[in-house]
Structure 1
């Protein structure tokens, strides 16, 4: 029991040292000269995250279709195709919005 308390204290001390090191050695982030550059970078980052989620859903839809073909389940097949279509729409959200807005 005494060994466990000593290990917990040592791990907490190491964690606290890491947090304090992170707090004291902080670097300053300067904004870009053009505010639109910052907005565009944030937009590209968010659309990149949305694209990653869309690719995951797209892969899940393909797996669902494959499983439905194996089990001969029409309702699962329909859900798989809907998931696949939703994944395609989510993956290409930025391009769809660019086409709509011109």
Structure 2
């Protein structure tokens, strides 16, 4: 019977330790908060900045695809492989389309 009482008290101690750890963590989170004030200005500029950032990432991916297409075309010319040359030109033109996506969309009036 003594083992059961010791086990219960050990469980109670662990439960109390977990409870106090959770309370202390929540109290620290509440004590260490700092207010964040939004900058005054036009929210449309934030959206435009995000749009420019996303299009710059897309442009970087397009340049990488364009470079890979150039490598494929060069390797196909060296090995005289027509199917690889076709894939290289498709990759090259796809990279150009991706790299200049924003300019294309602006030209056709979609952006």
Instruction: State the TM-score, normalized to the length of structure 2.
Output: 0.64
Task: Measure how far apart 1:33 and its partner are.
Answer: 1.1
Q: C-alpha distance in 2, partners of 1:33/1:52?
A: 30
Cα distance, 1:94–1:62 mapped onto 2, change above 3 Å = same
Instruction: Show structure 1 runs of 4+ deviating over 4 A.
Output: 26-29
1:64 counterpart = 2:66: no
Q: Which protein shows a greater Rg?
A: 2
Task: Measure how far apart 1:27 and its partner are.
Answer: 9.5
Cα distance, 1:55–1:72 mapped onto 2, change above 3 Å = same
Write out per-residue CA displacement over residues 23-53 of structure 1, whole angstroms, 9 at most, x where no aligned residue.
x7x8957345101100100000000000000
Contact 1:57 1:87 in 2 (8 A): yes
Superposition RMSD in Å: 2.2
1:37 maps to which residue? Answer: 45
Structure 2: give runs of 5+ residues left out of the alignment. 1-31
Task: Measure how far apart 1:82 and its partner are.
Answer: 0.3
Contact 1:50 1:90 in 2 (8 A): yes
Instruction: State the TM-score, normalized to the length of structure 1.
Output: 0.70
Structure 1: give runs of 5+ residues left out of the alignment. 1-23
1:73 counterpart = 2:81: yes
